[in-house]
Every structure is written in structure tokens, then in C-alpha cells.
Amino acid sequence: MESIIIIVFVLGYLAITLEHNLKLDKLIPALIMMAVCWALVALGIDNFTTWFDSANHGLVDGFASMVHDDKLHLVEETLLHHLGKTAEILVFLLGAMTIVEIIDYFDGFSTIKGFIKTKKKTKILWIFSILAFILSAIIDNLTATIVLISILQKIVKNREERIWFAGLIIIAANAGGAWSPIGDVTTTMLWIGNKVSSGMLFVYLFIPSLLCMVVPSFIATFLPAFKGEIDFEEEVDKPKSPHSGRMLYLGLGAIVFVPIFKTTTHLPPYVGMMLSLAVVATFAEIYSSSKFSISNVEGEEADEHASSAHHSPVHHSLSKIEMPSILFFLGILMAVAALESLGILFNFADSLKEGIPLIGSELSGTGVSDLVVILLGIGSAVIDNVPLVAASLGMFSEGLDNPLWHFIAFSAGTGGSMLIIGSAAGVVAMGMEKIDFFWYLKKISWLALIGFLIGSISFVVLRMFLH
């Protein structure tokens, strides 16, 4: 039965990886994989000899000798435990996505365009790389990529020039997302799973992540694509709302407040995110009402906002949430949980530890090779990094802030830059700019690989001083 479950998982995983070839949204195989894996677990429960207790991170004693009803009860408890942990991540992401959509509703991101006053390509490259690095740490790498490519399209009109900038934005956004607990889904998973703390994440990963962004950007400044100046008309778009700047800073501040709330109260991050969302939504409603009132008085603009006045900015923002991504995360995390519950990942981790030379394990203070983690990073470029990190959570039992978790956060977060399909930021850039897979492989992948390797080396060196 275990073999059948593994086959179902592998086939589902393959369908997720080949979603563009199959023209099938990856949430579909993820949800099928989750449901079928757990159904097989429930139907074949009497055939399993081991059961992994995620709460205590160990195998359940005497599982094989339990009666059928007790085993089913344990399956229900485990399923509920994993659903709770998955829901924490999903509710957190929903809150963050809604805040970002509220900022966008007030055209808050147009404020960022005002920072760019130069026509020199190298300066524009550095501005966008630094903005991507900082923004992705605050609003996550996917959203930062969408925002910056949208701004880039208004500044660099020539697509052939623009896709080079887009390639470096992907590298910078993924690097920036790695050192922040809210910058990347995989880092958020490790943070919510109590594997890393926000303070130590910064201490361990800021310098490696910075180098992962700076080195490729520096090398790129010598490439012919970034020589000379761009042609664009210096026009400043008038913000749609007089509150755009205010909502930008309020929204970003509210998201940054979440790690502070968690550190102070020790409550799960989603509680702080819901509080932040409530505060941002309150101001959004107030500003929205005042905008409609002024419009109605002025008369001319009354028709323009008439349709919007019937529903709030919060409802509008919630309707724009990318639910397919939320359902994909639900499917993949719960499917991995099924493998974890049977002890499959636990046993696989042991075989990895024994089978691969323990390079760096004596330095890290764990029995896990640095080579395993680097391979995880390279693997995240080929397949989705979410299930890889979800699997590592079930494979390794190291405690809070063990260097292993920080290295996994870095590798999974930045390794995806090596292929355009290897990260959410890359996939969204591919869609927005119609970037060809092989163009990215030839022009950008080598820069991402250099950044990843230099960042990994700097992490190993930094760990020697910190651990």
C-alpha cells in the first residue's frame, strides 16, 4: 500500500511540474493527490506497521498492535493536526494578499515609480534590484515581482531590453524573500512551523541573500544589454487616489508589524496578520467613503465611482485574491503530510543522512550534509520548492534556529532562480513578459547559479562564526 501511495504522489508531482505542457492548472493534481493519498491511508490503515506523530516528532510506539478503530481515530487526529498547521499558513497568506490588494486598490504602488529619475540602464538595474530585494522581504517575492514588472513596463518600453531587467528582478526578489519570515512561502512555512525565528533568520541569511542579489547584478552591469540609456518620456502618472502614498506606507507597516506581534505575544503569525488586515481595512473604508463623498459633491466624477461605491475596497480586494494558489498549497501540504504520517519521509531522511557524505555536518552541528541542502536548492529550480520544504519539515527533527533550517530557507528560496519555472516570481514574470524558457536558461540562469553558490559559501563561512 505504501508503494501505491508513493506512486500516486510521484505522478501528482510530475503533473504539477509539467503543468505548462499538460495545460492543466497545478492545483488540480495537487488536490487529487491529497485526497487519493489520504483515502489510501484510511483504507489500508491495517497494513501499515509504523505511524509518525508530528506533534511529538517521533514514531508511535506499538502502532502495529493497535486495533482498527484506534488506528482510524489516530488517522483522524493526525489529519486534523495537519489541517490546522496548513490552515495557519493559508490564513496568513490570505491576510497578506488582501493587504497588498488593498494597497493596489488605492494605487499605492504608483508612489514607487516616482523614485526613478534616471535613464541610465545600469542605474535602473540597481534601483530595481534593490527595490526587489527590499520589497520582497516585506510583501513577498511574488507580489514584489508583479509590482516591479508593472512599473518597469511603464519605464522601459522596448520588450527586448525589458526582459533583461525582469530576469534580474526575479533573482533579487527571490534573494530578498529568503531572509524575511514573510518574504517567501517556504520561509513562512519554516517560521510558522517554529523552525526559524525572525531575528535569527536575519542574522543568518541577510548577508548570504544580499550577496545572492548583489553579485549577479554587479556582473550584469558589464553585459552589453545594460550599456547605454533607455528612451522614455518623463511623465508622472497622477495617482488614482490622494491616499495612495498613505495606504502604501500603512499597508507595508502593517505587514512588518506581524513578526513583532508574534515575538511579543508568542501567538501564531496569522493572528497578527488578521489584526493588521483589520487596521488596514478600517482606514481603507474611511478613505474610500471620503473619496466617494468628494466625488459626489464635485459632480463630474460621480459617475466614475458610482459602481465602486456599492461595495467596499475590502470586498473588492478579497475578490482579487489568487485562490488557485491557496488551494494548491492546501493540496500539496496535505499530500506531503500523508507521506510524513506513514513515516516515509522520516525513513527517507535517515537514508539521505547515511548515503551522502557528511560535508559540513560537523560544522553545522547536525547529521545532515551541506550537500543535501544544496541539492535541495538545485532541486527547487526544477520542481516546486513548497513540497520540497514541506518534505524537509517531516524529514528532519532539528530544533528551533538550528542552522540546518536557515540553510534550507536560503537554498529553497534562492535556488528556484536558476530556472524561470523554479519560483513563483519566475513563473509570474514569464507570464507577464512572455519570457522564453530557453532564453532565460541561456541568458540569466548562469547569473542565478553564481549568486546561489556565492550565497551558499558565505552562509557556511558565517555559520562557523555564529554556531
In the prediction, which pLDDT does 66 show? Answer: 86
Name residues whose C-beta falls within 8 Å of residue 342's C-beta, 6 or more positions apart in sequence.
2, 5, 41, 48, 50, 51, 52
0.85 exceeded by the pTM?
A: no
What is the number of alpha carbons within 13 Å of residue 222 lying toward its C-beta? 5
In the prediction, which pLDDT does 110 show? Answer: 77
Per-residue buried b or exposed e for 223-246, using 16+ beta carbons within 10 Å of the residue's own CB: eebbeeebeeeeeeeebebebbbe
In the prediction, which pLDDT does 90 show? Answer: 85
Residue type, 455: G
Residues 316 and 183: their CA atoms lie apart, in Å, by 24
Residues 205 and 48: their CA atoms lie apart, in Å, by 40
In the prediction, which pLDDT does 173 show? Answer: 94
Q: What sign for the dihedral angle of Cα 345, 350, 354, 356?
A: positive
In the prediction, which pLDDT does 300 show? Answer: 45
In the prediction, which pLDDT does 360 show? Answer: 46
Residues 274 and 94: their CA atoms lie apart, in Å, by 9
Q: What is the pLDDT along the chain (467 residues), one digit of tens a residue?
A: 888 988 998 898 788 777 777 788 878 988 999 999 999 999 988 888 888 777 666 678 788 888 888 888 888 888 998 899 888 888 888 888 888 889 888 888 777 777 777 788 899 999 999 999 998 898 788 778 888 887 888 788 888 888 999 999 999 999 999 999 888 888 888 988 889 998 899 999 999 999 999 999 999 999 998 888 877 655 555 545 678 888 888 988 888 888 888 878 888 888 998 999 999 999 998 888 755 444 444 444 444 444 444 467 888 888 888 788 788 888 888 888 888 788 776 666 666 666 665 444 444 455 567 888 888 888 878 766 776 787 787 777 788 888 889 999 999 889 989 988 778 788 778 777 878 778 888 999 999 999 999 999 999 999 888 86
Residues 302 and 298: their CA atoms lie apart, in Å, by 7
**How many C-beta atoms surround the C-beta of residue 308 within 10 A?**
15
Place of cell 529550480: 381
